[in-house]
Structure 1
Amino acid sequence: MKVYIARIKKILPPSYDLDYISEKIYPKELAGEKITKLVKKFAKNMHIKQKPTAIDLDSIPEIKLKRKEDHPKEWGKKIVKELSEKIGIENIGFLSVAYNVTYNKDFLPNLTSQIVMETGLKTDIPPEELAYYGCAAGVISLKNAAEFCKKFNKAAISFTFDQCSNIASFIYDPKNPMFKEAIKSNLLFSDGGVGILLIPESMKSKFDHPLIELIEFKIDHVPGNTIRMENGVFVLENSLKDEIPPIVSEKVIKPILSEKDIPLSDIKEWALHQGGPAILEEFKKPEILGLSEEQLSTSYEMFNIYGNMSAPSCLLVLDKYFSNKENKSGTKGMIVGFGAGYYMASALYKWE
């Protein structure tokens, strides 16, 4: 049985200019004029225009959610409501929620259960909550939802979000060994989510726009520690750009193409995790993947607009492709997520 992506819905808190965010996180009265200037220089070199953030910038150094509607439960409820409008909530039998960082503090019952109870969703199998699978979480969640569709001939929702502002680290002492790491993570990571409605082939006639058929998934794990939390600070070692892309290529991209006997040149859309320009540049190297500037352009664009959104990042790129409703029948693409752990996952798809 074929499984399709029928709808994609992104959800974002307010976005702010990165220069403005740097001023709010590192105000002169707390950090001093010298550090404020240094942070602005960091921000300029990030190549991020706007950053969605759920944090109350006026409460720094206290970390708190600015708007009640940006609580992840409210996001989840909105995703379920909007994605079920076309087919009816009674035809959705599974919900998968994935994230790494959340503002949800009432974790029992878990966030997914809370969303199910408050939306009236009746699931055929227990809903799942995938936490701390790094930036591969969204693809893993998508795989589980697709498997449900095949087995039960019903629709499913995969909702992936991250609220990285909840682990902001306000370090104002340059002598602190975590000082620069804190600046980098505070400016790089953003907040947002992506909900995806998956349907079995039997529901295809309910939609009059082009759909994406999910063909194959590949998930792998190679232990690695260049991405980690250390003493409450998010650490990204400089070596990760050299270490992770070759592993991702060899473990979850090349194998799936080989198994399906599909040449690399046949993949026209690359929904590749936009961890940052340095990471994306590595995928251009012939020995890694040899992708062109054009093939990576959408990942670059999403990074420039939103920064690194962690788990939903690659799905944000997919949403950009999905929003283009031109006839792309037969066009193939890949969704690729990778990050801390190192967890990595890919999905091969084709436009109907």
Structure 2
Amino acid sequence: ITDVLEDDPDRVLARFLSFGRSIAAAAARRALAEAGVQPVEIAGLIVNTCTGYLCPGLSSYIAEDLGLRASIRVHDLMGMGCGAAIPNLEAAAGMLARSGEGPVLSIAVEICSATMFPSHEPELIVSNCIFGDGAAAAVLDLAPDTGNHGLARMIDFASGIFPHYRDDLRYRTQGGRLRNYLNKRVPVIGAQTSAEVASRLLARHRLSRNDIGWWAIHPGGTTVLAQAAKELGLSDDAMRFSNSVFENHGNMSSPSVLFVLRGILDGGTPRRGQKGMLVSFGAGFSAFAALIEFT
């Protein structure tokens, strides 16, 4: 508890680096093992985080810890908040498409406890209660002609930026530390912007919401999930994996939506050819969606 409540900015940042580095590498090793990929085979690395600033970014430390080769392509995505795992996946898909060389390792990692900011203000009480630390990783590659086709195929992405809501959800720097600002309107704003982006993606592919067999909605909180279900017209059953992640892990910011996808893969048994939708939102105000097909 004393460690989490540390208020010295230098020590807080050191804590972010120490724990961010370790849990990101652990998540990456699990993903690599499941994919049957050795670290030296990785051609690209994309890391996103918003809960601490480093230069060089976490990618430098993670590449060292995993033993990745020096010639890999590297991107660090910063400041995109809870929604960042989806643009991370899009960047990884773009890297594959441009270079034709894979695999690419995608990592979302947040040490939300490094942004703990004790206060009696209602939004900070909520923020301190619901956010947790977490990391998730995925290995993306070009689809092979034969053999293992992985767990899912990335079909397309969509995003939206809504600056008029910027001050409703953001980090501010106060006394050298990150202070979260979380307006009570966020559940409604998040649900509406996410639904707008998801609907645009569906329309682009001439799909309806009924064509989506599995939904991975960012588990930002119980009210967030209730509003998202209402806006998207989703049943309790469709939301069960998102609710489960929040109940068991809290809101881990960007890795959360990938935890939901993992839950679907492990507990939902999606059939080959079924479509899924990943939906998240975050600071900016921004919203993201990814259309996938299970393989």
Shift of 1:69: 10
Q: Residue 154 of structure 1 is aligned with which of 102, 115, 119?
A: 102
Instruction: Determine the C-alpha separation between the residues in 1 that align with 2:184 and 2:144.
Output: 48
Contact kept? 2:168, 2:181, Cα under 8 Å: yes
Change (3 A) 1:325 1:335: closer
1:328 corresponds to 2:271:
yes
Instruction: Determine the C-alpha separation between the residues in 1 that align with 2:268 and 2:288.
Output: 26
Contact kept? 1:256, 1:348, Cα under 8 Å: yes
Q: How many residues align?
A: 282
Structure 1 counterpart of 2:170: 228
Contact kept? 1:226, 1:237, Cα under 8 Å: yes
Shift of 1:125: 5.3
Structure 1 counterpart of 2:211: 266
Counterpart residue identity of residue 180, structure 2 = F
1:22-79: CA deviation from partner (whole Å, max 9, x where unpaired): xxxxxxxxxxxxxxxxxxxxxxxxxxxxxxxxxxx14464256899996222223334
Counterpart residue identity of residue 252, structure 2 = M
Secondary structure, in 3 states, of the residue corresponding to 1:348?
strand
Counterpart residue identity of residue 194, structure 1 = A
Shift of 1:240: 1.8
Shift of 1:242: 2.3
Q: Residue 226 of structure 2 is aligned with which of 260, 266, 281?
A: 281
Change (3 A) 1:202 1:168: same
Unaligned runs of 5+ in 1: 1-56
Structure 1 counterpart of 2:159: 219
Change (3 A) 1:149 1:290: same
Structure 2 counterpart of 1:257: 202
Instruction: Determine the C-alpha separation between the residues in 2 that align with 1:257 and 1:129.
Output: 29
Report which stretch shifted further, 65-74 or 119-128.
65-74
1:72 corresponds to 2:20:
yes
Structure 2 counterpart of 1:167: 115
Change (3 A) 1:258 1:348: same
Instruction: Determine the C-alpha separation between the residues in 1 that align with 2:255 and 2:22.
Output: 17
Structure 2 counterpart of 1:21: none
Instruction: Determine the C-alpha separation between the residues in 2 that align with 1:228 and 1:327.
Output: 35
Structure 2 counterpart of 1:117: 64
Change (3 A) 1:242 1:80: closer
Contact kept? 2:43, 2:73, Cα under 8 Å: no
Counterpart residue identity of residue 102, structure 2 = K
Contact kept? 1:93, 1:123, Cα under 8 Å: no
1:89-120: CA deviation from partner (whole Å, max 9, x where unpaired): 23210000001114xx7x33322022223433
Contact kept? 2:123, 2:184, Cα under 8 Å: no
Change (3 A) 1:240 1:123: same
1:238 corresponds to 2:184:
yes
**TM-score for both structures, normalised by structure 2:** 0.86
Structure 2 counterpart of 1:31: none
Contact kept? 1:267, 1:333, Cα under 8 Å: yes
Runs of 4+ in 1 over 4 A off after TM superposition: 63-70
Q: Residue 127 of structure 2 is aligned with which of 185, 190, 196?
A: 185
Change (3 A) 1:121 1:305: same
Max Rg structure: 1
1:126-169: CA deviation from partner (whole Å, max 9, x where unpaired): 30111110111110111111222233241111000111111111
Structure 2 counterpart of 1:194: 136
**TM-score for both structures, normalised by structure 1:** 0.73
Identity percentage of aligned residues: 26
